Amino acid sequence: MSRNLLHCGLGLACSQNRQPTQGNTMTNTQQQVDLSEKPCKCGDTMGEVIGFRERSTDKEKVMYRVCWYCIKCHATEKAIGRETSVN
């Protein structure tokens, strides 16, 4: 897995995968919701914050989406339910 992990102010690893929205690419092949980032109320983009938790069954460290974090206004939005699953 080649995620671009950065350490943010929350003490967790987060990735800011900014992708330019310019261009005229026709991406109508599949409707897949990208949860790696979300629009923030301030107009900027919130990036996902990835954490690790230990699976109780085999003590394996598994990645999960903790929340989204806006580096501009420092807002956070907690990931709930299926939003916490990475991949």
Q: What residues make contact with Zn ion under the rule CB under 5 A?
A: 40, 42, 44, 70, 72-73, 75
Say how far apart CA 35 and CA 32 lie, in whole Å: 9
Helix/strand/coil for 15: coil
Residue with Cβ nearer Zn ion (50 or 70): 70
Instruction: State the nearest-atom distance from the C-beta of 11 to Zn ion, in Å.
Output: 19
Residue 64 beta carbon to Zn ion: minimum distance, rounded to whole angstroms: 22
DSSP β-bridge partners for residue 19: none
Shorter beta-carbon distance to Zn ion: residue 44 or 60 = 44
Minimum separation from the CB atom of position 73 to Zn ion (A)? 3
**Is residue 73 within 8 Å of 44, Cβ to Cβ?**
yes
Closer to Zn ion at the Cβ: 63 or 71? 71
Q: Cβ–Cβ contacts within 10 Å for residue 43, how many?
A: 9
